[in-house]
Amino acid sequence: MNEKQAKLSFVIPCYRSEDTIEAVIEEIRSTVSQRDGYTYEIICVNDSSPDRVLDVLLRLAAEDTRIKVIDLAKNMGKHAAILAGYAFVTGDYVVNLDDDCQSPVCELWKLLDPVQSGAYDAATAKYRKKKQAFWKNFGSWINMKVGTVMLNKPKNMYFENFSLLKRFVVDEILRYKNPYPYLEGLVLRATGRILPVEMEERDRGDGKATGYTFRKSLALFFNGFTAFSVKPLRVSTVIGIAAAVGGFIWALVAVIRKLIHPESVRILGYTSIIVVLLILGGLILLSLGLIGEYIGRIYISLNNSPQYVIRQTVNTDPEEGKND
Ligand code: UDP
Ligand code: MG
């Protein structure tokens, strides 16, 4: 294998994409064929899609053994589906992309060249303008902030629906066995040498609405900050300390004023008491809920809840992968 030769593994989580997946695969084929010396495999993970995308995948896989199909028994979400695909990767570089033509596959080399040159372990698309619903833009912004604060993510680093990882990063990610996978956190846990590459995101190929419902986005958000960080717990500790110090000072003031002006009841009036009660009560419940969230996740992890369950696979014979 000379320096410029390598095997690329494309991993595509598939959900409601019976109308677009063929075009995505076709674009991969034509992009890779632009240069000599690259072999590839396309690992399509059917995340228990309600449409007939599995039929399309099985048909394509019957025509071309480079297309591998992993059929999940339950809908586990994008990140779990990607991890299911990673388990079957045989290439040197792993490309993550979406199934709905939104990832600009034609820009593949912009991600691959800097990584293949050895300067970076990963590269990710950084989109100039986001084409998605307002609340998703807002959600992405929050997710980015959470990533920067909770995961110590470098500023200006976006993980989009198009990225490329060196194989060792994927192998490292595969060591994570807990439920609630969060890809961004897993990549950042493995390497810091990640290159953002500016490019343009495309619209969905079929004009459908996003498969990422508000509920799924929220679940992902919780995965993001609880899976790799205990900073939220520290924040509640700091708020607790601040409230305690403030309360102590206020108590001192109240007692001293009472001693100086025994006739005054104003300083311990109803309003101040109820305000303090409500604020503190709210904070206590909030931090209890937070602790509960962590404990619940520990409990479910201890239960060995699976990240995903595979119903069947096609073309995944490891010997076949080596022949490519
Ligand atoms: N996806 C998935 N499982 C789901 C929802 C989405 O695997 O339950 C995948 C989907 O196949 C696609 C990616 O996540 O490859 C992004 O989904 P979508 O295009 O619906 O969301 P958006 O582009 O708006 O983020
Ligand atoms: Mg999409």
Q: State the SS3 of 222-254.
A: HHHHHHCCCHHHHHHHHHHHHHHHHHHHHHHHH
pLDDT per position as a tens digit, 58-88: 999 999 999 999 999 999 999 999 999 999 9
Q: How far is the CA of 105 from the centre of ligand 1 (A)?
A: 16
Atom 15 in ligand 1: residue holding the nearest Cα: 98
- Token duo for residue 253: 């003031």
Contact assessment for residue 320 and residue 65, using Cβ atoms and an 8 Å cutoff: yes
pLDDT above 80 (res 1): no
- Distance (angstroms) between ligand 1 centre and the Cα of 216 equals 10
How far does residue 212's CA lie from ligand 2's centre (Å)?
8
Ligand 1 interacting residues, C-beta cut-off 6 A: 13-15, 17, 47, 75, 77-78, 81, 98-100, 102, 132, 161, 210-212
Task: Identify the CA nearest to 196 among candidates 132, 135, 147, 138.
Answer: 147
Nearest ligand 1 atom to the CA of 204 is: 19
* Residue 68: strand pairing partners: 43
Looking at the CA of residue 17, tell me the nearest atom of ligand 1.
11
CATH number of 6-229+307-314: 3.90.550.10
pLDDT of residue 2 exceeding 70, the answer is no
279-306 average pLDDT score? 89
Indicate which atom in ligand 1 lies nearest the CA of residue 12.
15
> pLDDT tens-digit profile of 185-235?
899 999 999 999 999 888 887 877 777 778 887 887 788 778 777 888 888
More confident residue, 268 or 231: 231
List the chain domain ranges.
6-229+307-314, 231-302
Q: Which atom of ligand 1 is nearest to the CA of 136?
A: 24
Ligand 1 atom 4 nearest Cα: 77
The residue whose C-alpha atom lies closest to atom 22 belonging to ligand 1 is: 210
What local confidence, expressed as pLDDT, does residue 54 receive?
Answer: 97
Alpha-carbon span 39 to 41, nearest angstrom: 7
